Structure 1
């Protein structure tokens, strides 16, 4: 089976390509550096020829509100139109747990718009909602840092390893379309401050982590469970402590 992975040279995409190949599928990475530009449509018709499934794990080069909305709307529209022309039978997209709970977050709004385009396309689909990745713990801390202090919300987070994300996305590509959403998450929920503090300590980062009920998460104030998956989520096996240990 030929599977085209949009964003297939990035963190998640490269892992998805490798996992699909391990299962004997023809997995083709599609990204600007492979000659495919979803914003202009360049290379899409060629790469989708004879493809059965498209996996979209692409991301916007800019996270500014207008730019990220333009990226996901334009890119997704172009990909879906090209899929219809090529006869692709299954569209798989990676999105985020909690997208519909934080409307003031520009990135989440853009992901909601992307999902709406997919659902309205007429192409069978599976949308995978993942929680935050372990790999982004320092980046999250950086976004919340004032001086030597990291101010984090009074909320919970249930992060996961990017390799487990890729396993779930590759599995969705190999399975029958859901025409719906599946949630995936790490095996443990943490208080936000515990997650950040543990991640920084593992890197000998001296910043102080404090809880601030008004601290924002990329522009959004969080409720306790805003970023947590529902009770039916599929939980990955890799624990945060084990991931930190293997990085040493």
Structure 2
């Protein structure tokens, strides 16, 4: 089958593409570099010809609710509408574990709005919620350069992006599941501790300052972002991932 991956060159998307191809399917990468702009819809109709399923792993770097909501809802509407025109049979959306329990955070409200677009669309759908990726602490540290690294006080269960990519590919190759079982990593971590270990491994000296994120501090601290049901669990720990990435 042909499976298109929106954001197929990103942190998770590239792993979806690899997993699709390992399973013997054809991967179609939807990216500007391949002549497809999902934000405007340009090139989508041609790219989705003959495609059986679409996996949406797109992300936006802005944490501002208005910007994130506009991006997520617009790109999802374009993907769903083009999928209907092309006869796509399955739309798979990557989302985040616990966003309904931490909806005081604007970025998460944007992801919830995106989920609603997919649910209300005219394509059979699956929403796959994942916990934070092992790359997340480095991404947060990179947003605010300087001697102090600001990190959320957050209980999490980080998962390898490669394992999420494999799960997304498996879901896409099967029938629509609606709200699919959540995927999470093998053990619980504190986000600030992960950041400190990351900095030590990279030989960098920065003071990590844990803070409460506006609107979601209590939820983050209280474990709202941990999975609360059965689902696939990754096997790669943060320390294993960190060791492999340094090597």
TM over 0.5: yes
1:205 aligned partner: 204
TM-score (norm 1): 0.90
Q: Any conservation in 2 of the 1:68–1:107 contact (CA below 8 Å)?
A: yes
1:121 aligned partner: 121
Q: Any conservation in 1 of the 2:185–2:235 contact (CA below 8 Å)?
A: yes
1:216 aligned partner: 212
CA distance in 2, matches of 1:4, 1:151: 36
Post-superposition shift, 1:102?
Answer: 2.2
TM-score (norm 2): 0.90
Q: Any conservation in 1 of the 2:131–2:157 contact (CA below 8 Å)?
A: yes
Structure 2 unpaired stretches of 5+: none
Shift of the 72–165 alpha-carbon distance from structure 1 to 2, 3 Å rule, reads same
1:181 aligned partner: 180
CA distance in 1, matches of 2:143, 2:214: 7
Q: Any conservation in 1 of the 2:137–2:191 contact (CA below 8 Å)?
A: no
Q: Any conservation in 2 of the 1:154–1:224 contact (CA below 8 Å)?
A: no
Shift of the 39–193 alpha-carbon distance from structure 1 to 2, 3 Å rule, reads closer
CA distance in 2, matches of 1:143, 1:216: 16
Post-superposition shift, 1:35?
Answer: 0.8
Matches within 5 A, 1:191-202: 191-202=190-201
Q: Any conservation in 2 of the 1:143–1:218 contact (CA below 8 Å)?
A: no
Structure 1 unpaired stretches of 5+: none
Count of aligned pairs: 244
CA distance in 1, matches of 2:135, 2:151: 17
CA RMSD for the aligned pairs?
2.0
Post-superposition shift, 1:143?
Answer: 5.1
- Runs of 4 or more off by more than 6 Å in structure 1? none
Q: Any conservation in 2 of the 1:144–1:152 contact (CA below 8 Å)?
A: no
Matches within 5 A, 1:229-248: 229-248=227-246
